[in-house]
């Protein structure tokens, strides 16, 4: 299965920095159902990123998952990553494509206009959010569930992931708004049992939104408006 097909099938995307017991954390997340990992650590040196990337790459290969690096297409190529994730202030996808022609390209979006531009760009996947304010994106106002609904209505065939403050307490709200893929950080990274947290999030995604209530046939409704005997 090629990278693009694996991306289309992915549902649960885990982003983390470099931290103690990194290998155990990543292994637990993957065992719980994560199918994409991103290494994001803006304070790390290139040497530290290189060492961490070898852990990410090895575990992703073992579990058939995709490995992403944040911000740096040059290092993504050097480290053998599957993709690079770009922010709105980073190089545009077309420029990143020149650096790594074989890389998958992800792009953060925060508004409907940015989402529409992302769909029209060379990006292979988009993140949509932050749905709720989160300390991992300080100063970034929440885009809200309405933005998730916009992406669901206008995303066409573009893979996109809701992101920002999503956890086990609110993931169903995001799914009901139209998301079938999510990005999480703290919900797995800071969980007492990262594998169980990942598995619960995965189960919610696979369950999907609740079924719509069956329409009422007006011809079967009694004249007084009651629904008859239970």
Please check whether residue 230 lies inside any domain of the structure.
Answer: no
* CATH code for the domain of 178: 3.20.20.70
Cβ atoms of 160 and 126 within 8 Å: the answer is: yes
Confidence check: pLDDT of 90 > 60: yes
pLDDT value, residue 222: 57
Residue 16 in domain: yes
In a domain, 193, yes or no: yes
What span, in angstroms and rounded, lies between the C-alpha atoms of 166 and 173?
9
For residue 51, tell me if it sits in a domain.
yes
Residue 225 resides in a domain: no
Structural domain contains residue 229:
no
Considering its fold, how many domains does the chain have in total?
1
13: nearest Cα among 141, 209, 208, 198: 198
Are the C-beta atoms of residues 144 and 161 closer than 8 Å to each other?
A: no
Give per-residue pLDDT as tens, 15-31: 999 999 999 999 999 99
Residue 51, domain extent: 3-220
Contact predicate 182/174, CB 8 Å? yes
pLDDT at position 230 is: 43
For residues 36 and 12, is the Cβ–Cβ distance under 8 A? yes
Do the domain assignments include residue 227?
no
Residue 126 lies in a domain: yes
Termini Cα distance of the chain: 51
Predicted local distance difference test score (pLDDT) of residue 218: 59
Q: In this prediction, what percent of the chain has a pLDDT beyond 90?
A: 87
pLDDT on residue 38: 98
Confidence band, pLDDT 50/70/90 cuts, at residue 112:
very high
Q: Give the predicted TM-score (pTM) of the model.
A: 0.91
pLDDT tens profile 167-187: 999 999 999 999 999 999 999
């Amino acid at each position: 299965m090629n990278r693009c097909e694996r991306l289309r099938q992915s549902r649960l995307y885990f982003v983390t920095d470099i931290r103690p017991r990194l290998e155990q954390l990543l292994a637990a997340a993957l065992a719980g159902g994560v199918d994409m990992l991103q290494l994001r650590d803006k304070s790390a040196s290139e040497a530290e990123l290189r060492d961490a990337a070898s852990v990410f790459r090895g575990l992703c290969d073992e579990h058939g998952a995709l490995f992403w690096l944040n911000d740096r297409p040059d290092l993504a190529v050097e480290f053998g990553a599957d993709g690079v994730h770009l922010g709105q202030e980073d190089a545009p996808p077309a420029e990143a494509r020149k650096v790594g022609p074989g890389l998958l390209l992800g792009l953060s979006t925060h508004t409907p206009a940015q989402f529409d531009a992302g769909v029209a760009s060379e990006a292979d996947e988009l993140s949509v959010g932050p749905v709720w304010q989160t300390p991992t994106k300080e100063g970034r106002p929440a885009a809200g569930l309405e933005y998730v609904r916009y992406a669901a209505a206008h995303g066409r065939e573009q893979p996109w992931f809701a992101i920002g403050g999503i956890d086990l307490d609110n993931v169903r709200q995001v799914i009901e708004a139209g998301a079938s893929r999510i990005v999480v950080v703290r919900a797995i990274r800071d969980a007492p049992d990262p594998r169980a947290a990942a598995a619960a999030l995965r189960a919610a995604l696979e369950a999907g939104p609740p079924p719509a209530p069956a329409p009422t046939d007006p011809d079967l409704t009694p004249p007084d408006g009651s629904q008859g005997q239970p």
